[in-house]
Structure 1
Amino acid sequence: MEVVRSKEFKAERAWGAKDIANMNGITTRLHWTDQPYKWHVNDGAEVFVVLDGQVEMYYRLSGKEESVVLNAGDIFFAAIGTEHVAHPIGEARVLVVECEGSV
């Protein structure tokens, strides 16, 4: 049993994470960041939940780049093959649920 106070979490580097759980190869991790990630495609589906702050999520559909601003409480689902990159607006804390070892 563990209680995680997400608003109190701060990593030593951008996209640093605290492992919350691993359930049959699906990981749940709390990330802190103040810097963009990198364009990537996950090995499996990904659920991206903004817990604190704002994140502009860029993604490509049929070669066209689009974006959406995610606020605290918003959820972004990246299906297999969705190329995307997260750009925090200031500091952000994000819960990510994905296949173990995914990019």
Structure 2
Amino acid sequence: MTEPISLTAALASFEQLWSPRIVTRVNDYDIRVAKVRGEHLWHSHEHTDEFFLVLDGELTISLRDRTVVLHRGDVFTVPRGTEHKPSSEAGASILMVEPTGTPTVGDRHEDVPAHVDATTGHAL
């Protein structure tokens, strides 16, 4: 990409929840934005950390031993192999950094609801 990217415009271009969109790539990493509301599912990424930046709203990340609450402008990295469950009661816009090709539902996860593609983690 040789031009600036508007995250506001990227987020305005879709309505689907829990369906990240790649806005750019940095080396071998995808920079993704997503709109979230309600609960995602328990999952983990065995081979990579997962970086979250809250652009708007509030995001809760449940871990097996604690809960982390992120507000606008907060960042948090879930260490590789750590089970986590993101949620947002009122809704949030987030930015994530993950290696290219990382499935949204991780490598290990609980049963995937019918409205989520288990391969991509995208809503159907």
TM-score, normalised with respect to structure 1? 0.83
Instruction: Calculate percent identity across the aligned residue pairs.
Output: 28
Consecutive unaligned residues in structure 1, runs of 5 or more? none
Identify which of structures 1 and 2 has the higher relative contact order when contacts are C-alpha pairs closer than 8 Å and 6+ apart: 1
2:37 alignment partner in structure 1: 34
Shift of 1:83: 1.0
What stretches of structure 1 move > 4 A for 4+ residues in a row? none
1:1-103 equivalent positions in 2, closer than 5 A: 1-6=3-8, 9-10=11-12, 11-42=14-45, 43-60=47-64, 65-103=65-103
Change (3 A) 1:8 1:53: farther
CA distance in 2, matches of 1:51, 1:86: 15
- How many residues align structurally? 99
> Counterpart amino acid of 1:54?
E
Higher strand share: 1
Q: Residues 80-101 of structure 1: CA distance to partner in whole angstroms, max 9, x if unpaired? A: 1111111112120000001112
Q: CA RMSD in A?
A: 1.9
Consecutive unaligned residues in structure 2, runs of 5 or more? 104-124
